[in-house]
């Protein structure tokens, strides 16, 4: 009978777990297999997320205080993955562009990193797609400042008064049917 020493078995299980954590996105998220700095340094996450949003939304002002707020807002489920997402962007950028930080890349280089994430495994694709959609909703819908809107698409925001003639058709009778009575006859 062949017995495996406990220490050897634990080492092998540790290597298997590390391999799963490195290769499988859900496992990496579950065991928080990314640098602790992305959980401790809000400034780092903010810089990476700003670089991400300015890459997926051309013309977005990088200095907008609400630009990445939706990604870290605890009201939205993405907030729990923001650190992992920023670390994944940074890891992909460093591997692809000789150790350079994601936030220091040119827009076309950042776009290539994002495209790589969008083409990865199903979980990573879902995370990247969610981040893109959340950025678009936050920017174009103005969820944190509904009065400003988005000039890029001609949306002026909410709470702007318009006369009835601006928001209705000038001749609605042309498109509406005649009124009917309870017995179905025309009035």
> For residue 129, what are the β-bridge partners?
none
> For residue 155, what are the β-bridge partners?
150
Dump pLDDT digits (tens) for 91-137.
Answer: 999 999 999 999 999 999 999 999 999 998 888 899 999 999 999 88
**What number of CA atoms fall less than 13 Å from residue 28's CA on the CB side?**
20
Q: How many helices (H) and strands (E) does the chain have?
A: 9, 0
Check pLDDT > 50 for residue 86. Answer: yes
What is the SS3 assignment for 155? Answer: strand
- Whether this prediction's pTM lies above 0.75 is answered by no
Termini Cα distance of the chain = 98
Distance CA(138)–CA(40), nearest Å, equals 24
Backbone angles phi, psi at 180, to 5 degrees: -115, 150
Rounded to 10 degrees, the C-alpha dihedral 23/25/28/30 comes to: -140
């Amino acid at each position: 009978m062949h017995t495996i020493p406990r220490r050897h078995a634990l080492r092998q299980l540790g290597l298997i777990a590390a391999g799963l954590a490195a290769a499988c996105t859900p496992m990496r998220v579950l065991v928080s297999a990314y640098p602790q700095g992305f959980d401790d340094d809000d400034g780092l996450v903010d810089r990476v997320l700003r670089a991400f949003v300015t890459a997926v939304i051309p013309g977005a002002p990088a200095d907008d205080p609400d630009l990445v707020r939706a990604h870290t807002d605890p009201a939205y489920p993405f907030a729990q993955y923001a650190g992992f997402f920023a670390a994944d962007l940074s890891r992909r950028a460093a591997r692809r562009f000789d150790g350079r930080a994601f936030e220091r890349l040119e827009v076309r280089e950042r776009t290539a990193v994002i495209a790589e994430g969008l083409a990865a495994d199903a979980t990573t694709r879902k995370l990247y797609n969610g981040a893109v959609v959340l950025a678009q909703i936050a920017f174009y819908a103005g969820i944190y400042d509904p009065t400003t809107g988005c000039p890029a698409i001609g949306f002026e925001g909410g709470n702007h008064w318009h006369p009835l003639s601006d928001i209705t058709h000038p001749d609605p009778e042309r498109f509406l049917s005649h009124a009917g009575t309870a017995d179905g006859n025309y009035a």
